[in-house]
Amino acid sequence: GAVVSQHPSRVICKSGTSVKIECRSLDFQATTMFWYRQFPKKSLMLMATSNEGSKATYEQGVEKDKFLINHASLTLSTLTVTSAHPEDSSFYICSAHGSRSAGANVLTFGAGSRLTVL
């Protein structure tokens, strides 16, 4: 089945540093990838939609200069949290969309990355 790998699963960093999270589709080409943020005991909030080779589309209220998204290839999208602060601590999840030969499009989620900013 479709597999999305997200790395790292956990990261702890100091305030002011930048952190990069990778999202890879392992066995399919992901034309579109989505990034979500989940606050403790809350639902997922869509942050942005990225299409391979073009700029990401950010949801209202999400700082694009804070959360840099790059989708340079059909199998990799990255989220960089720049100048991280403790309020950026959260669970970040990606999902990838790619067409399957069976006909039913697939949306598969990564396992998530827990960011803790000290």
Closest to other proteins by CB, 38 vs 80, is: 38
Give the one residue of 23, 28, 34, 47 binding other proteins; rule: CB under 8 A: 34
Please state the φ and ψ torsions of residue 85, each to the nearest 5 degrees: -130, 165
DSSP state letter for 64? T
Q: Which of 22, 49, 66, 76 binds other proteins (CB under 8 A)?
A: 49
Comparison of 35 and 67: residue with beta carbon closer to other proteins? 35
Rounded to 5 degrees, φ, ψ at 94 are: -110, 160
From the list 15, 29, 83, 105, which residue makes contact with other proteins (rule: CB under 8 A)? 105
Using CB under 8 A as the binding rule, whether residue 101 contacts other proteins is answered as no
Contact indicator for 114, 91 with CB cutoff of 8 Å? yes
Q: Does the protein bind other proteins through residue 110 (CB under 8 A)?
A: yes
118 Cα distance to chain centroid:
21
Stretch that binds other proteins, among 18-26, 28-36, 73-81, 82-90 (CB under 8 A): 28-36
Phi first, then psi: give them for residue 41, nearest 5 degrees: 60, 30
Instruction: Work out which of 47, 79, 84, 93 binds other proteins, going by CB under 8 A.
Output: 93
Closer by beta carbon to other proteins, 78 or else 97 = 97
Q: How far is CA 46 from each of CA 1, 36, 93, rounded to the nearest angstrom?
A: 24, 4, 9
Pull the structure tokens for residue 87: 């309020």
